[in-house]
Every structure is written in structure tokens, then in C-alpha cells.
Amino acid sequence: MSDTYLYLSLVPECLVASMRPPEDFGHYLAVGNNSASRGQALFFEVDSSFRSDKFPMHLIDEECVLRPDGKPKNSVYLSVYRALEHIPISALGRLFLTTDDGKVLALEKGDWVKEEGRTLHLYQEFCPVNPCVASSLDPAEFSKFMTAPDARVHLPRLVFSDLIIRDLATDPIHGELGELPYNQIDHVRNCLALIKRDPDKKNKMVFRRLHQDFFFRTIRTGFFVGDQDELAYYPMPSEEELNDKHYQWWKSALVTQSI
């Protein structure tokens, strides 16, 4: 009997059982069975022993079986809606970043340390909503703010990353951004400047939705998944480490163009 895996895909949000191991599953999500179909993918490995009455878990044993030609089952969808909130953060394993040509990078959980003195951030939310947000809150504060039960708009849990903004972190209007592929950069600058000059305004939506290309090369420190009780951090390797140890993935990630 082949192994069965559980994955939480973030874009779109869904819980999937598969007989494909992570790298194969990432390639399948990005490229599919037809090389003409391409798209970046982002997904968590979920503890294979995880079970919940929120999902039809019986389908795993019933449908994750080898096909008549001996090939593994690609995917059995257990949920396509509100999956993240019903999976404990402790059940989430590695986070996989997949480029649009199927190259997969695995990120392990790490220890997040608060940066002293940094007051401006740009966050990309991935799940269950996906705006891009300028903020004066650090990742732990941002996670708690967005998942506060008494908030006007309450999210039970959130996955997001912080993005590179270089000199804009201290000088939003005149700071140098370099070669990063942000579109509508004047709008990004103005949103950050608004946050900087108004201490009572903690967050400002920059873009309402996630672009089809995630721009993996714009990830600053890493990815976060959090709620009111927990914050898990998945640190992004340094550019030097990406060049040295993950060159093929990094080379593919750099090909993504601005939109």
C-alpha cells in the first residue's frame, strides 16, 4: 500500500489527500498533467494522523488507492472552504513554495524574534483572505489584530508573509526600492507613508487581492500562520543560501515578471 499524505493548499484554500509525496504534489499543483497549465502553488504538509469530524476523512481510505494502471491517486479533496481554521497549527508541518514550472522549496518551522525599532511593514495575506496590507504592527501583533474576536472583520486564523520594502521601511516617499517587481509603487509608498504619519492607523489595505504570481523573491523574513493563541514562523532562506543550496528553485523564482 502506498503512503497517503495530507496537504493544506492555500491558493486556493483546500484540504487534499494525495498519494504523491510533497515534491511530486507540488509539481502536480503547479504544472498538472498538462504542461500548458502552469501556476505557482503554496501548501502545508499536514500530520497524516490528523483527523477531524469537520472533514469527510473516510474518503482517504476509500479513494486514495492505486489506479488500475498502477499510478497513485493525485488528489482527493476533503474541503474547499474554511479548511485552515479547523486544522490545529500544531498539525501543520513543512510549508512548500512551488514555482510555476514545478520547482519545490520546503520551509521548516523556526523561532521568530521580534525586530526592535522597525515600524513599517508590508504584508501579503494568503489564506483565508489575500489582500496586501501596509502596517505598523509586527507579525505577532498583526496576527492577533486580524484574528481578534471583537474585530469588525474577524478571521479565525491567518497565513501571511512579510515583504521586502528596503528603504521604504524608514522613508516611504523617497526611499530606494531597488529592482523589486512591485506594480503601482506610488500607491505602495503612499499607503506606507499614511501609516507612518498617523499613529492611530495601524493598517492600510494596499491591494485587494493576491496577484496570480506570488513574487517569491519579495519575501523578506518568511511566512507566518497565527491566531489569538499561537504564531508559527517559517523563515525564508537568505539569498546566499538560496543560491548555494536551492539554486534551481531560486533561478526559477527569479524568472517571474512584474504584473
Residue 72 φ/ψ, nearest 5 degrees: -75, 155
Q: Is 148 exposed, middle or buried (0-12, 13-18, 19+ CB in 10 A)?
A: middle
Predicted pLDDT at 256: 57
Radius of gyration of the chain from its Cα atoms, rounded to whole angstroms: 19
Task: Find out whether 141 and 26 touch, Cβ atoms under 8 Å.
Answer: no
Predicted pLDDT at 211: 72
Task: Find out whether 250 and 242 touch, Cβ atoms under 8 Å.
Answer: yes
N- to C-terminal Cα separation, the chain: 45
Predicted pLDDT at 242: 97
Stated pTM of the model: 0.93
- Three cell numbers at 100? 510555476
* CA torsion angle 179 183 189 192 (round to 10): -110
For the chain, domain boundaries: 5-107, 121-247
Predicted pLDDT at 258: 39
DSSP 3-state helix, strand, coil percentages of the chain (rounded to 5)? 25, 25, 50
The number of beta carbons lying within 10 Å of the beta carbon of residue 31 is 19
Strand, coil or helix: 253: helix
Predicted pLDDT at 257: 45
Predicted pLDDT at 212: 63
What are the tens digits of pLDDT across the range 101-147?
999 999 999 999 999 989 999 999 999 999 999 999 999 999 999 99
Predicted pLDDT at 114: 92
List the chain residues with pLDDT less than 70: 1-2, 33-37, 212, 256-259
